[in-house]
Structure 1
Amino acid sequence: MTDTVKGPASYFPSIEAKYGHPVAHWLDLIEGQTDKPHMQIVTWLKTEHGLGHGHANALVAHALAARKESAS
């Protein structure tokens, strides 16, 4: 039985297909922006890198959640 990916990571295959970069590329970019609020990073990805809102939001949500978990 295969587990269905849920949450922000469920967007990752379509993000990679649409924008031509692995998710790690986007997470690396976001890492340099984590001093900013969630929506400000989303807006930055949309305006500077051409991502759609849903894809940008999924990447930021995943990156910030992972950062919060590693700080615990």
Structure 2
Amino acid sequence: MSTEPIKGPASYFPSIEKKYGRPIGEWQQIVRDRLPAKHMDLVSMLKAEHGMGHGHATAIVAYVLSKENA
């Protein structure tokens, strides 16, 4: 098991779950359900429809898109 700290977008996941009260998997699915879409369109959707802050929305979208394009 790695003891290195989590880096990148995933480092926001614990605070996103705590602040918005939903598991990160649900947020990721919300984004995946809107694909294909542009990064900023997905960020805007999370902000407008779910009241998410810009940084948190960007982290989720960046993570999902990185996995989809891997």
Q: TM-score, normalised by structure 2?
A: 0.95
Moved over 4 A (4+): none
Corresponding residue for residue 44 of structure 2: 43
Q: TM-score, normalised by structure 1?
A: 0.92
Percent identity reads: 49
Partners of 1:3 and 1:13 lie apart in 2 by: 16
Q: Could you tell me whether the CA contact under 8 Å between 1:34 and 1:64 is conserved in 2?
A: no
Matches within 5 A, 1:1-72: 2-69=3-70
Q: Which amino acid aligns with 1:42?
A: V
Partners of 2:51 and 2:27 lie apart in 1 by: 12
Per-residue deviation, 1:51: 0.4
Partners of 2:30 and 2:42 lie apart in 1 by: 10
The RMSD of aligned alpha carbons is 0.9
Using CA pairs under 8 Å that are at least 6 residues apart, name the structure with larger relative contact order, 1 or 2.
2
Per-residue deviation, 1:52: 0.3
Partners of 1:41 and 1:11 lie apart in 2 by: 17
Q: Which runs of 5+ in 1 are unaligned?
A: none
Q: Which amino acid aligns with 1:18?
A: K
Q: Which runs of 5+ in 2 are unaligned?
A: none
Aligned residue pair count: 69
